[in-house]
A and B are shown apart, each in its own frame.
Chain A
Amino acid sequence: MSNRIFAGNPSSRRLARVLALLAIGLVAWLWPAAWRYVLPALSPHVAVCSAVSLRFASMLFLLSAPMLFLMILRHRFWCRHLCPVGLITETCGKLRRGRKVDDERHTIGKHIRIPSSTGRFLALASLGGSVVGYPLFLWADPLALFSGFCTFSQASAVGLAIVILISIASPGLWCSRICPLGGTQDLMVRLARPNTRGSRNTEVSQRRIFLAAALGAVFSALIPADVLARKRHLRPPGTVDETALKGGCIRCGNCTRSCPSGIIEPSVDSRDVAGFLVPRLKFSRTDYCLEDCNRCGHACPTGVIRPLPLRDKNRHVIGIARIDLSECLLTMDAECGVCVPRCPHGAIVEQFSRQSYTTTLKVIAEKCNGCGACVGICPTKVVTVEAV
């Protein structure tokens, strides 16, 4: 199968690659920010499952349309010529050239045999899961994995690293059997063009399709709302609820890369296992969620961070600032109070008591959106933003 995927006239393949690279270069030149956002949005697998899951389609959804047509017209053309993960796995597979490898064995180790329908199953289970709002394996989309790797944070590279290890252990296994995007293509070809060569190779009975999807849906529905979540993190502004976020986020890292403040990081926390690599906010001394920015929402290919207009984004409550007055300098009559002018929303006010002739600080909950501007400036680090 892997041979079939990577088969074809070598010269035409080379030409296609050169053209693809040129096209990528052209897009990058015309729209420099493209590389940050576009890649995961190209996947119809991600686009469809996200749209079903969130009952919402962002503008980025449109990017997957040409890919959808391509995938139906030329089965696995994407995998052969354009997919960056395909290129990587193929290269990794060649590392084994010196050794005798049974390409068609498709096992990991000696005994674990991977069925050829794994990719299709993953795609269907995700689709089924997305019906109940928890697309199970969306994060395994190769473009999401590759995009996550491009975030250049150690944890986000885990996915692609595993794919590479699989490909070294068993060349071609990922692309031909596991990849859910590949599985999606197999399914689509079968549905759109039932009598082509590609579809004959990917026989799936209607019953099995239904079963896989139903299994995904049931499993997703049974998953407790927050799997092993003992800690609530702050999420980027405009995110959907925690469960939908953890299920729907493909961990592509678009939001992390789009944030001009650099406060969005992939979460790695043993207290929040289901939220592994899901974006969370971490404020620094000067960096907070800027009141003139809503880029993360527009960069998110799935819509778990909703693309809100600026005004709505600023109204979205990330959390509420809390000041520990027992350690607050101003409350101790020391010279401070800088969080008051720092707050872009006028949510922190001084409260002067004529009785004691002292000043304390108060957060006006209705005005605070948890942007975190006050967190970094506090010299004694007593201001925090708490999730609500």
Chain B
Amino acid sequence: MESLSRRSFLRKIALAGATALGPGIVGAGQIYEGSKIVEAERVYRGGPAIIVDGKVIQPRREVPVICETDVLVVGGGCAGVMSALAAARTGAKVTLVERYGCFGGLWTAGLVLIVLATHVEADQGLKKCVRGIGDELLNRLLKIKGGIINQGPGMRDPTSDPEATKYVMAEMLSEAGVEILLNSWVTNAVMEGNSIEGILFESKAGCHAVKAKVVVDASGDGDVFGAAGAEHVRHIHRIGLVHRLGNVDRIAASKSGDKRSSPNLSSNTPLPSVRWVNMQGPQGDCLDIRTLTQCELDGRRAVWEKLKNIQQTPGREQVFMLDTASQLGIRASRTLTGLHEVTFDETMANKKYADVVAIGGAYAFVGNRACQIPYRALVPLKIDNLLATGRCVAADNLMLNYTRLIGPCLVTGHAAGTAAALAVDSKCRPRDADVAKLQRLLKAQGAYLG
């Protein structure tokens, strides 16, 4: 770009724009529908990218706004679904944009089936921390045969079936009247000064925009606040690939050898013959496409190698590969630099926050401790009209291993959705939202705030 003077660059851009206006409606035109030829929907790309001085230049063009909404939730994982449901139930008009064709994200597409950190041990047995909409979802799964195990009184950290979870999430979203956009990959933020006004997403139909009063970033990777220029922290973490094995009930126990040397068959699922197998995987930058590609290829190969070992073990010949996850097990990529960071030291000190909006249950390294997450951990330092939720909330590099669990994601998702709807309702920025009112709303929606 240095060799190009500013004027000539602008001229070339204008030229590119002019050429783009012609074929800007590429793909638009006529289409066969059965035997009829009808007018087709446009594919909005603004024309193809062009080469200017050997560099690939995107066409500069107006992006059509596909919808305008109160609360836009980016990402249909557990936190995103909770946010969308919470915002819709609080009374906002909600749009949910999801890159896959199903809901649940890492929970379902990633096959991380266990909902960790739901309870703490109290004097009188277990005390439930994940309540509200998250608990409602788990209880609805309980009504489905083979939907969930370890859910209900006296049980904790349930494991759900991915297909049942996808189904129930979609049902709940439809019931709440959330506008859903599937197969839509959010690529950029639409900014006006420090304030986010919407997002751009790519789909088969090209690039579209969604305008919103408040955007909830439930992308997990923090794609929205990353694009919006909010301050954040990048992380290198392990990238795994979960898989499920079938016919595990046909293992002849008498024939299988020493338990220690036998391959890891991991955890139970609601399907009696199926187990899901976690993988740690190599450390890597989860935002680097070459890393991700390599992890997919290597991970799948490793899983098949392990299966071969299992099948060669006497008594385990019948075990087969049910599926590998369609989503890599990304543990951490970006975390928000929020108004407050959830830290290990504060958590260990059982710190109570006046603006607590979510409480997660016990988990290995935090011990038997109800961990509070303050509202400020969801609010970016500078960017307005944006809230982060799920595994990209502000947490130090120890506590992100807690906030990324499904249990905490369910509660932070709920909190972010209600907060976004409250901000829309009271016509203020999310950072100025009345936290006391937010807490009252959350409690009314069943959430546990200590």
Residues of A near any B CB (own CB < 8 A): 285-286, 329-330, 332-338, 341-342, 350, 352, 354, 357-359, 377-379
Docked complex Cα distance between A332 and B264 (Å): 8
CA distance A222 to B141 in the complex (A): 76
Residue pair A357, B281 in contact (C-beta under 8 Å): yes
Q: Distance (Å) between the CB of B198 and the closest chain A CB?
A: 35
- CB-defined contacts of A330 to chain B, threshold 8 Å: 280
CA distance A357 to B306 in the complex (A): 9
A38 to B344 Cα, complex, angstroms = 35
**Cβ of B236 to closest chain A Cβ, rounded Å:** 10
7 contacts between A and B (CB under 8 A): A332-B264, A335-B401, A336-B365, A337-B280, A338-B364, A357-B279, A377-B398
Q: Which residues of A contact B282 (CB under 8 A)?
A: 352, 354, 359
Shortest CB distance A96–B (Å): 50
Residue pair B278, A350 in contact (C-beta under 8 Å) = no
Known: A357-B305, A378-B365. 16 other contacts (CB 8 A): A286-B345, A286-B348, A333-B264, A333-B279, A334-B278, A336-B364, A336-B365, A350-B238, A352-B280, A352-B282, A354-B298, A357-B298, A357-B302, A357-B306, A359-B280, A379-B367
User: Please, how many angstroms separate the alpha-carbon atoms of A144 and B238 in the complex?
Assistant: 53
Residue among A330, A337, A342 having the largest count of chain B Cβ atoms under 10 Å = A337
Say yes or no: B398 contacts A342, CB within 8 Å: yes
Residues on the A chain within 8 Å of B365, using CB:
336, 338, 377-379
Q: Could you say which residues of chain B place their CB within 8 Å of the CB of A337?
A: 238, 280, 401
Q: A341-B397, A342-B344, A350-B238 are in contact. Are A358 and B280 (CB under 8 A)?
A: yes
Q: Does B256 contact A (CB under 8 A)?
A: no
The interface residues of chain A lying within 8 Å CB-to-CB of B306 are 357
Residues in chain B near residue A332, CB distance under 8 A: 264
Is B266 at the interface (CB under 8 A from chain A)?
A: yes
Question: B283 contacts the other chain (Cβ, under 8 Å)?
Answer: yes
Q: How far is the CA of A329 from the CA of B401 in the complex (A)?
A: 14
- B277: chain A residues at CB < 8 Å are 333
Compute how far the CA of A155 lies from the CA of B113 in the bound complex, rounded to whole angstroms: 51
Residue in B266, B348, B398 whose beta carbon sits within 8 Å of that of A285 in the complex: B348
Query: B303 — nearest CB in chain A belongs to which residue?
Result: A357
Q: What's the least CB distance linking A348 to chain B, in Å?
A: 13
Specify the main secondary structure of chain B where it touches its partner: mixed
- Complex: how many Å from CA A333 to CA B364? 14
Complex: chain A residue closest to B301, CB-CB: A357
Q: In chain A, what residue has the closest Cβ to B280? A: A359
Pairs of residues from A and B, 8 with the lowest C-beta to C-beta distance, nearest first? A357-B302, A379-B364, A359-B280, A286-B348, A338-B365, A341-B397, A352-B282, A341-B398
Q: Which residue of B is nearest A335, CB measured?
A: B278
A35 to B214, CA, bound (A): 56
For the complex, what is the distance from the CA of A58 to the CA of B12, rounded to whole Å? 75
CA distance A350 to B277 in the complex (A): 20
- Shortest A257–chain B CB gap in Å is 21
> Are A359 and B238 in contact, with the CB atoms below 8 A?
yes
Give the one of B364, B367, B397 with max A CB within 10 A: B364
Docked-complex contact A333 and B397, CB < 8 angstroms: no
Alpha-carbon gap, A150 to B365, bound state (A) = 35
Of B264, B281, B344, B398, the contact of A359 (CB 8 Å cutoff):
B281
A152 to chain B, nearest CB (A): 23
A388 to B299, CA, bound (A): 40
Mark out the residues of chain B between 235 and 282 whose CB falls within 8 Å of any chain A CB in the assembled complex. Answer: 238, 264, 266, 277-282
B 387-404 contacts with A by CB, 8 A: 396-398, 401
Q: Give bound CA distance, A357 to B305, whole Å.
A: 10
Give bound CA distance, A71 to B349, whole Å: 48
B28: shortest Cβ distance to chain A, in Å?
Answer: 48
Cα–Cα distance between A350 and B306 once the two chains are bound (Å): 21
Minimum CB–CB distance from B279 to chain A (whole Å) comes to: 7
| Closest B residue by C-beta to A380 | B364
Per-residue interface assignment for chain B, residues 391 to 421, with 1 indicating a CB less than 8 Å from any chain A CB and 0 otherwise:
0000011100100000000000000000000
Nearest Cβ on chain A to B268's Cβ, whole angstroms? 14
Complex contacts, B367 vs chain A, CB 8 Å:
285, 379
* Cβ proximity bits B110-132 to A, threshold 8 Å, 1 near / 0 not: 00000010000000000000000
A368 to B338, CA, bound (A): 32
Please, how many angstroms separate the alpha-carbon atoms of A378 and B367 in the complex?
A: 10
Q: Report how far A352 CA is from B306 CA in the complex, Å.
A: 16
Instruction: Looking at the assembled complex, report how far the CB atom of B112 sits from the nearest CB atom of chain A, in whole angstroms.
Output: 9
**Chain B residues with CB below 8 A from A379, complex form:** 364-365, 367
Specify the chain B residue showing the minimal Cβ separation from A326.
B260
Encode contact with A along B277-297: 1 for CB under 8 Å, 0 otherwise: 111111100000000000000
Nearest A residue to B398, CB-CB: A341
Q: Which residues of A sit under 8 angstroms from B305, Cβ to Cβ?
A: 357
| Complex alpha-carbon distance, A341 and B400, angstroms | 10
Given A330-B280, A333-B278, A357-B298, CB of A338 within 8 Å of CB of B348: no
